[in-house]
Structure 1
Amino acid sequence: MFVGRRIVVVGGGLAGLRTCEALRAAGYDGGIELLCAEAVLPYDRPPLSKAALTGSQDTTFDVDFDGLGIEVRLGARAVSLDCGRRIVTTEDGEHPYDALVIATGAAPIVLPGRGRQQVLRTSSDAEALRGELRSGTRLTLVGAGWINAEIATTALSLDCSVTVVEADSAPLRGPLGPRVAERMLPWWGAADLRCDVGVIEVVEAGPVLSDGTLIESDVVVTGIGVRPDIGWLAGSGLDIDRGVVVDESLRTSDPAVFAVGDVAARWSPRYGSRIVGQHWDDARTGPATVAAALLRPDERPVFDPVPYFWSDQFGHKVQFVGYRTESDEMVFRDGDDGKWGAAWFDEAGRLTAHLTVDSPRHMVQARMAIDRGVVVDPDSIRDLAAPLQSVPLPTTT
């Protein structure tokens, strides 16, 4: 049982907030200090690339911090960690702890160049971009991933002129593979989509492409990925590998320190590999495991969910569950009213990942099937309405 009296949570996003709530729900009655880098209370990020771009929307979580006994420090960005002394240093001073939870999330990657480029990660980012999106605005989106697909959807609805630059041969080819990416390609028809070309730099007039072309732009939004926010952990002694390395209980190499959400590189017994989730669902569900592992370490709780994320783009709800590799096979699953999906399976026939378009019910079924380790017959599931049920494993002689 944890006997310390002070827990510090670094990070004012969903993972940090849910950690505070999970600790109280698990019965911890000691001090909790939440260090928020931004000067605003914790808020929900998914709406920032959707409804928050079309009008003012309050995405702040409805939480009674005083009632929960949580000391919230706004504008307290962490700059260093001393595990030996058990002290987090922020821009406004030192914060001692008995246990520490790192939930600092991730930061967007930006391009070289002195030209103005925007990213979309915070509420202030969304507010600034919302003020730019109006009829006739020449918007260039660098990267055709999930976030920029959602921004493009909104910008086109506001009659912006949208150009999209993608280094790969099609949007989302990396996470979904070439066949699925090709099937989704027509969705981008209203935008000027330029694939197989990179950006050298962003200058005052706009981005300069790898073929020398300058795209004159009023607004440039860079959406080429994020990196875990771990710079402040330099010299801390924690193991770092694409994020803060944690075990299946989200504990770091220091038994008094945990990490959760986008910043964590967690070990997955399910997949036998280390996963950097960087999706809302991990930040939402992981904190319960942190609280259990911190307060009841003898129970050794395991956080190993089937990964899940979603995107609303071009009038479609896209949902993905599981974890696919390049060696997995894939079949399309077609349904009624334009609904469709894709299923991936490994060499043993086990379902590893599933994509659904406009069909949340089938996403739920797929998530349950992946969790059970269902072995599928590819031909029998090409109809989206077909059940994802296990077939007998092939016999060997």
Structure 2
Amino acid sequence: MSNRVVIIGRPNVGKSSLFNRIIGRRKAIVENIPGVTRDTIEAKAEWSGKEFILVDTGGLVPDSHDDILLKVRETIEREVSRADVILFVVSVKDGVTPLDTEIAKLLYPYKDKVILVVNKVDTNKDEKASVEFYQLGYELLFPVSSVHGRGVGELLDEAVKRLKEEKVELVYEGIRLTFAGKPNVGKSSLLNALLKEERVIVSPVAGTTRDTVEVPFEWNGMKFVLIDTAGIRRPSKVDYGVEFFSVGRSLKAIEHSDIVCLIIDASEGVTRQEKRLGGLIERKYKGCVIVANKMDLCPLSEGELQDLVRKELFFLDYAPVVFTVATEGKGVEDILEKASLVYRDYTKQHRTSFVNRVVQGTLKEKPLHHRGKSVKVYYAFQEGVKPPTVVIITNYPEAWKESYRKFFVKRLREKLGIEFSPVKLVIKGRD
């Protein structure tokens, strides 16, 4: 993909703030803590009529031996090689640091693509101080304040001069499949195993993933958008800060999903947090695939674990269960096979005449009464999909209690051939 503008720099120089400023919304998480961004984040941007893909990257630490930072560096090197323009960001508040000098040397083979961006220039005094950064060896230097917007327009004027006049697309089409679960259950490992590349950074350290990462993917002619999310702990354990925003992004990703892969660590079984997340998935009427990962560490057989999952997550009885070992690639394609079945049912549509017959027949099976009078259904129809939604117009809406609704939904799923999807039931009175 051409017209890629990649933001590079050491940790905590304001790369994500600049990214958010350019795209005009808060997509990357910003905190005054080094190393918040780890995986690359992309967004479509436009300036002076030219469209481009803007890429935010993790903080680059060239000589670090930290496992996560090494993987961040590998990701950045891949992005630099694909870039049309590189925005090398430094901070005027810190002056030229040894890390800045190291990164300048690393980027020198790409010097024709590089624009040096001195960030955090909030005053005229800061602007005068920014000339110090010419010692890094780059001719083009732009003092900016990503927080206040100062100088960003001039920077973009220069950046887009180097880009082609062409449309760029970053609208990912396909089944939105979100990988969700508590920290360190293997969400990122599963996504990488499906992609057969390390697109997202994986580490034994819980909480490695912070931003949500969307990756387009095609399998057997079906288009997917695979979405990796930060691990979700229960609210009482989440402090305000990076994790607070990460969890918020994860919950938003679930909200905008077609299907949620609820990832369970098979060696631990079903914990309270899986039940909480499962309850959220049920309340939001999302399609779901339950993925029991790390089966190589599980003391139970697949059959025994399936029985346990069905018992503990009984309210997700429509969700198929898949068993995987992400580190070995075992069972990962089963996720897509089951997801395709879920999506088939999640988008299933029936004619009104058929829905009417099914609803009337189900009411006859188990008649409902209200204060000694028979409950009638005047008519019923399917209002929409994602999920399949059945609307029933009745004489006594208040008679349809929770237990009867559950019975009715179960019978609707059976009769409408919706095995792997929730069905939403809407009861209304006649106007």
TM more than 0.5? no
Higher helix proportion, which one?
2
Normalised by the length of structure 2, the TM-score is 0.23
Larger Rg: 2
Higher strand proportion, which one?
1
Normalised by the length of structure 1, the TM-score is 0.25
